[in-house]
Amino acid sequence: MSSSLPGRVPIEAQKVDAPLTSSATFLVLTVKQGADAADAVRDVISGIDDIIKNVGFRDLDAQLSCTAAIGAQFWPRLTSRPSPAGLHPFAAVSGAVHTAPSTPGDLLFHIRANRQDLTFEFERQLLDSLGDAVEVVDETTGFRYFDVRDLLGFVDGTANPVGNAIADSTLIGDEDPDNAGGSYVVIQKYLHDIDQWQALTTEQQEMIIGRKKADNVELDDADDGQKSHKTLSTIVVDGVEHDILRDNMPFGSPGASQFGTYFIGYSRYLWVIEKMLERMFIGDPPGLYDRLLDFSTAVMGCTFFAPSADFLGALADDAAAPTPAATIASPARTAAEESRSAQA
């Protein structure tokens, strides 16, 4: 996932840290059964950089990019290469009050640009190329809201890593050499009860989020009892904080009374995001869940792996694993099991 020169060439595929744009489309697909469907997908995604160049060259300043990611169950149908060590289907997280559901998804395309017509055209050409090999599970178009705020009114993504820490937090290294340069991706779609949220005072909202609404200044962590969203979503192990890269986007339709946030997190270690969700939905300690969930309902949850651009480009010459059934049947580990394994 090497860097490119902005303003001279389109942003290459699989660039996890592509610039935050004013528009994004999140496209989740399932792949139909049969070798022909898998072959068609393999051909298209191995050449996805060509679609980026074809569409993005019309306006390089719009910074069109796309990250393609692959689900655990489709991986052995796509390639005979070893599956990423931590990849498994999204495991639903059920707390006493709220649940993070697991929903279908074989492919994710995270399409970003500063012009919605470019994301539209890219998606059109992509789906035309994939043809009847796939079915659309979800298509969500997000937008930048004011000064990078969510629809609840708070700045989103403040805790993202910066500089060299981005690669350290998002890209697999020597711990999984077969998949080095790739990243785990988790997506969730949340719907907000705006009326109930706005019925709270600003101070009540700030205590739930853990930051000031106007200037985004952090509030002190609670010593005990109920923790804020900021605190519950911060993962510290043996004194080391583990970051993820978020590129969340608001979405919605006032006419349909739909207001939401599309969460997308890129991480070097899948267990980090899973631990965040465990703390949010189950609570820390259990029972003291994230109060933000009283106003935000998760309706989607999928896990994917975004391989490096080189890996993706080489797929055209690859072949699927001969016995995918055994791989598909293997049970997904829980977030706690993944966390213990990663920390061992």
Are 84 and 172 contacting, i.e. CB atoms less than 8 angstroms apart?
yes
Sequential DSSP letters for 26-74: EEEEEE-SSHHHHHHHHHHHHTHHHHHHHHHTT-GGG--EEEEEE-TTT
**Closest by alpha carbon to 171, among 268, 35, 65?**
268
172-201 residues labelled b (16+ CB within 10 A) or e (exposed): beeebeebebbbbbbbbbbbbebeebeeee
Are 248 and 157 contacting, i.e. CB atoms less than 8 angstroms apart?
yes
- Can you tell me the distance from the alpha carbon of 92 to that of 142, in angstroms, rounded to the nearest whole number? 24
Classify strands 235-237 and 107-113 as parallel, antiparallel or unpaired.
Answer: unpaired
Within 10 angstroms of residue 217's Cβ, the number of other Cβ atoms is 9
Query: What amino acid is encoded at 1 in this protein?
Result: M
**Closest by alpha carbon to 159, among 67, 233, 264, 270?**
233
Among 106, 156, 243, 290, the active-site one is 156
156 belongs to the catalytic site: yes
Q: CA-CA distances (angstroms) from residue 5 to 8, 61, 104, 117?
A: 6, 11, 36, 22
Which residues participate in catalysis according to the annotation? 156
